[in-house]
Amino acid sequence: MLSSTADHLYWMARSMERAENTARMLDVTYRMSLLKQAVAEPHHEWRAMLSISGLHEDFEARYPAPSADDVTRFMALDQKNPGSIYNSIFTARENARAVRSSITSEMWEALNHTWLEMRNIHAAGIAEDGVSPFFEWVKERSHLSRGITHGTLLRDDTYRFLRLGTFFERADNTARILDVKYHVLLPSLEDVGGAADYYQWGALLRSVSAFESYRKVYRDQITPKRVAELLILRPDMPRSLTACMNEVNRLLQEINGPRANELLRRCGLLHGELCFGSIDDIFVRGLHEYLSEFLERIYKLGDLINTTYFWSTDEWPTALPAAAQSFKMASSGQSMA
């Protein structure tokens, strides 16, 4: 497989997964903002989301304060924000167009249709009472894209690079969503592991489609430590960090390649720490600190995937439009706020 083809496939999957996870993060932040609590700083939950997303500086350069409407517009529809849902879907479609001969016609038609609908939504704007339905639409289109990929594509390197992009992006965003929650409810280290409002934690679990899974596994009241354990260490939870890294590690071993030794070593080390980790050790260390380090390590792993299989960061391709290139640059080595 050509490195350029592998690159387009990987970023096609990452872009679509990012659109879904941005919608999930906006959804949980929106739900939190509706469940009023004693927070000293106005719009604290929206500030936290921008900080965790690493986009607070871009936002502050253009908006006076992080209100719900402005953050939603910035993260959902803003053409100048390379990480917005609008640009994520655009990037997925452009990457798919570049490798149409490598994917099935059903995959292309689904992505192209999603982009056409996204353009219409962008032109009309999101209705004030239509925020949650928009988020659900984004998630459903992402599910459709993955389902068609799983059901129609040959299990070769094309499929592996697509799945690699999906699970790599999902691990990144699960860590972000969990950290958003702790930034809002448990802002100080002394509060980590303390009591939290049932409905807030329920909103978090629903945002990652884990509410029913939590009830099935723990059958008890929702506690911060158990939520963190479910989303970090449970290998049978599809969106947990361990489950994602199980897939990333397996896919990298199957792809392999003559220059992949260091990549496999670093991935195996991170994967092993998750497999044999303890939630008690994570909380003693500090959940925010643990998630911050995980994000930093996964950024470096992403850069290594790029230089191992695609090209160095100073040799980005010019085949994609500027917005798609900006999306990829923003995803490579972006530092944690």
User: What is the pLDDT at residue 27?
Assistant: 86
Q: What is the DSSP string of 95-162?
A: HHHHTTTTS-HHHHHHHHHHHHHHHHHHHH---TT-HHHHHHHHHHHHHHHHHHHHHHS-SSHHHHHH
User: What is the pLDDT at residue 258?
Assistant: 86
Q: Which residues of the chain have pLDDT under 50?
A: 38-40, 187-196, 313, 316, 333-337
User: What is the pLDDT at residue 336?
Assistant: 37
Alpha carbons within 13 angstroms on the beta-carbon side of residue 210 total 29
CA quadruple 31, 12, 107, 79: dihedral sign: positive
Pick from 229, 139, 176: nearest CA to 29: 176
Total-model pTM: 0.87
| 314 burial level (CB within 10 Å; 0-12, 13-18, 19+) | exposed
User: What is the pLDDT at residue 202?
Assistant: 80
User: What is the pLDDT at residue 217?
Assistant: 93
Distance CA 283, CA 192 (A): 8
User: What is the pLDDT at residue 127?
Assistant: 75
User: What is the pLDDT at residue 320?
Assistant: 54
- Give the helix, strand, coil percentages of the chain, each rounded to 5: 70, 0, 30
Distance CA 292, CA 15 (A): 22
Distance CA 130, CA 174 (A): 24
Q: Which residues contact 75 (CB under 8 A, 6 or more apart)?
A: 22, 25, 26, 49, 53, 55, 81, 83, 84, 85
Phi, psi for residue 272 in degrees, rounded to 5: -65, -40
Q: Tokens for 272, please give them.
A: 């092993």
Pick from 284, 49, 85: nearest CA to 179: 49
